Amino acid sequence: MEQQKQDETEGKEECQLCRITYSIYSNFPPMPSAMALNAETGEWFPFDRLKSYSNGYEMAEALGYAWACDCRERSRNRFDEQFVLRDRKGRPFANARYRARVGLNVVASGVTDAAGRTQRISTKDARRLTLEISAGV
């Protein structure tokens, strides 16, 4: 099979992740009933949609691992934050159980450290992130 040429790179070097992603998915045969999973959001989408993308970055974004892209001068449009949970008096919630959700999907869960900090949480759109603290904290 002949590999398709990636468009929209504007002559810039693409990272290995984007090149490999494109080389794999651009050559897949049609699979009209197959579904693919976005690993970041947990959402399913038609697998054939991947072939409609013109470069590996768009494919990686659809599959939920574009955060690992290392292309030069590409805006990642990602949020990677660590939160500090505090009570109304400003004291940290140490050892508090929490869940971070994007929509209905849990993207992170754990227990805060002694300073009330969560693990680092990476999302595509920070406006949709919800932090839940377990009752009894």
- Residue boundaries of the structural domains of the chain: 1-76, 79-133
Residue-by-residue pLDDT tens, the chain, 137 positions: 334 445 444 555 788 999 999 999 999 999 999 999 988 778 899 999 998 999 998 999 899 888 788 775 555 556 778 889 988 898 998 999 999 887 777 888 899 999 999 988 877 666 678 889 985 54
pLDDT at position 76: 56
Q: DSSP letter at 117? A: B
pLDDT at position 79: 72
Long-range contacts of 103-112 (CB under 8 A, 24+ apart): 103/41, 103/128, 105/41, 105/42, 105/43, 107/40, 107/41, 112/85
Helix (H) or strand (E) holding 17, with range, is: helix 16-25
pLDDT at position 108: 85
> Could you tell me the pTM of the whole model?
0.51
User: How far from chain centre, in Å, is Cα 69?
Assistant: 11
Q: DSSP letter at 92? A: B
